[in-house]
Structure 1
Amino acid sequence: MTTASGDRLRRPARLRSVDLGPIRVSYVPDGAVQLVPHGWFPETTEETWARHPEYVDDTGHLAGSLGGLLIEYGERALLVDAGFGPDAWPATPGNPIGVIRGGALLDNLVALGRKPEEIEAVAFTHLHVDHLGWAWHPAPGSDKPAFAHADYLLTEPEWSNPELAEAEGTSREILDVLRPRVRTVADGNEIFPGVRVQLTGGHTIGHAAYVVEAAGRRLIAFGDALHSPIQIARPEWWAAPDHDRTLSTAHRHRLIKELSQPDTLGFGIHFADVPFGHVETHDGQPEWHPIDA
């Protein structure tokens, strides 16, 4: 069981920051998503969730966060993922995604002392709409992009297979808005001081994690390789939209081993109000230990 206090597993994440020497990383909330537990994790049953009520909110859903990760080095700033944007979708019957809403990311950037136009690049984990929001929506009251001076970074396999993104609901219109600013990156590339790309295909064909290293510490922003801290003990639980279940499961096993290493933190963008943490093993079972960032 994850050692989270109070209701943190049943609510979306709030503003939280962690320092790694000269680099500060901050979760920037945009909104929230409700996930149908058995629908999102088809390997589970109703009995599974009856045994783990700490993960289920009062509506019977898993609470998921939507947002981005701000990485700051001095005056420079990089954003990993761009939330859902100023939109909201209702729940629909049979869909493992319940209500989803965004819109707060730009205001929360300002609360952290950053104007959107100061972001030098947005590095995407993948091309699903809940990670692209403010990169294609214009700034409020304008027809211009919110991140006026930013390049958009994607792995080459992700960007070279747009039909896969379209099949998962990312429209051609969205891809056309992104296209003029996209720059592709490869596994191992350093894209910002102390930040490199780690190709982790499985959830999508070119899904990326971003590894931040500074002052002898490491943080892995693992995107949708994991959606809930309950998967730390159950890496075989693939998510309904995973493109390659076998590959995504293999990456989860490797990721959990990495997160168990000394001086290594993880960042889970959808991890309710426990986005920053590390993995510890008790009685032979790995557990997610959130930190009070």
Structure 2
Amino acid sequence: MTTVTRGTTPATAPRTLRFGEHTVTWLPDGHVQLDPRRWLPDSTAADWAGRNAALLDPDGFLTASIGALLIRHGDRAMLVDAGFGPHAVPAENTHPALGALVGGQLPAALDAVGVDPAAIELIAFSHLHDDHLGWALRPGPGLASPFVNAAFAASAAEWSHWARPAAGSSRTRTVGGGEEVFPGVTAWPTPGHTAGHTSYVLTSGERRLIAFGDLFHTPAQLARPDWRVVVDAHPERGAEARRALLAELARPGTAGFANHFSGAVFGRLANHSGTPCWEPLEEFY
């Protein structure tokens, strides 16, 4: 087993797994290039040699997937996050630690799995960065969100730090730690990347799936949760949240949803010669 198992190419088609009474589906929207040394400024050139070199694209970037997690229970459906939206930003116009940033695939991904955006009752945001809210709150000039019946949920701290108005205040709601936002899905505060960053835990019997947003952007961080992320609002709290997540992922029956882990978004924490690493899941056991 190695740290990387699926290369650097983001998934371009939805992927559905059965999880007890639920089904979970990765819905791709696009991708973003991350400059590894700038995005993770505590890392060194040596850290991106050896097996971690396989995480880099030919231009030396980490290619991070962007999308959403669809959770279905009976005839009900929700999303965790909402992609970047129908936008394409060249490297010269993004953050200095980024390369190209593109979205736009999410509606087609929903159509491919037979889900009408109007059937989505809730979009629970891990945080309110553009690559997580696009199709809900930033669909583009002259475009309306396709999620016409969805409530938009985030932590109070997240809403209070978001500068732009929400798409209709009657559609927004605040979620707190331990709150069940959807059958089997509870909110878990994991601040650090942003002040109100929230993970979501889907529980079915003795099994759990943790959708952990931007706590980790690449499998290389699993062995180095102390590495700062250049855009973390509170770096020390971010490191604490990453360590707490690693402890939870190590518990029996626990898997993770890693929105930015290229093609291997569903996985579990494994160990390779004493080094924590990501083991992609083909199905839940």
| Fold agreement, TM-score > 0.5 | yes
Q: Which residue of 2 aligns with 1:86?
A: 86
Structure 1 pair 230/213, CA: closer, same or farther in 2 (3 Å)? same
Q: 1:237 Cα deviation (Å)?
A: 1.3
Following the alignment from structure 1 to structure 2, what is the Cα–Cα distance between the partners of residues 73 and 108? 19
CA RMSD for the aligned pairs? 1.9
Amino acid of the residue matched to residue 118 of structure 1? A
Name which of 263, 271, 275 aligns with 1:281: 271
User: Of residues 189, 200, 205 in structure 1, which corresponds to 2:179?
Assistant: 189
Q: Any idea what SS the aligned residue of 1:177 has? A: coil
> What is the alpha-carbon distance in structure 1 between the residues aligned to residue 167 and residue 40 of structure 2?
32
Structure 2 residue 100 is matched with structure 1 residue 99: yes
CA contact (8 A) 1:43 1:237 kept: yes
CA distance in 1, matches of 2:272, 2:145: 47
| Matched residue SS, 2:91 | coil
Output the CA distance in 2 between the equivalents of 1:257 and 1:176: 34
What's the secondary structure of 2:92's corresponding residue? coil
Contact kept in structure 2, 1:10 and 1:56, CA below 8 Å: yes
SS at match of 1:232: helix
Percent of aligned pairs sharing the same letter: 44
Question: How do 1:43-62 and structure 2 match up within 5 A?
Answer: 43-51=42-50, 52-62=52-62
The aligned residue for residue 135 of structure 2 is: 134
1:201 equivalent in alignment to 2:191: yes
Judge conservation of contact 1:137–1:146 (CA < 8 Å) in 2.
Answer: no
Asked if the contact 2:218–2:260 (Cα under 8 Å) also holds between the matched residues in 1, the reply is yes
Deviation, 1:50, is: 2.4
Q: Distance in 2 between matches of 1:243 and 1:144?
A: 30
User: Structure 1, residues 169-194: CA drift from partner, whole Å, max 9, x if none?
Assistant: xxx3xx34364421001000001000
Q: Give the 5 Å matches for 1:1-293.
A: 2-5=2-5, 8-14=6-12, 15-51=14-50, 52-92=52-92, 95-138=96-139, 143-162=143-162, 166=163, 172=164, 175-177=165-167, 179-292=169-282
Paired residues of 2:4 and 2:55 also in contact (CA < 8 A): no
SS of match in other structure, 2:167: helix
**What are structure 1's unaligned runs of at least 5 residues?**
167-171
The residue type equivalent to 2:33 in the other structure is Q
Distance in 2 (CA, whole Å) between partners of 1:143 and 1:13 is 26
Deviation at 1:287, TM superposition (A): 1.5
Change beyond 3 A, Cα 1:4–1:46 = closer
Aligned mates of 1:39, 1:283 — CA distance in 2: 28
Contact 2:19 2:204 in 1 (8 A): yes
Q: CA deviation at 1:25?
A: 0.8
Q: Give TM-score scaled by structure 1 length.
A: 0.90
